[in-house]
Amino acid sequence: MSKGSMQGRNWLFWAALAGGALGGLMGVLTAPASGEETRNRIARRIGEGADSLLRRSQEAMEHAGSYARRAS
């Protein structure tokens, strides 16, 4: 690997790291809710997403079972 290629990758890594840190900082500084409220909201949305995923996977399994019964 050439030295120029490694320097380009190194620069990209540090730029991405700095961008992520800056974005996180800006998010914290401009957040409309307190940390606890934000964590609760995130936890609730993750729970809702998990429930939705479970329902959809159960529906998919039911549909797959009905297709399998029709095919046999």
Per-domain residue ranges of the chain: 1-30, 33-72
pLDDT in tens, the chain (72 residues): 555 565 667 888 889 999 999 998 888 778 787 888 888 888 998 999 999 999 999 988 888 888 788 887
pTM score: 0.45
- Residue 26 has φ and ψ, to the nearest 5°, of -65, -40
Tally of CA atoms within 13 A in the half-sphere of 38 that contains its CB: 9
The Cα–Cα gap between 49 and 41 comes to 12
The Cα–Cα gap between 6 and 12 comes to 10
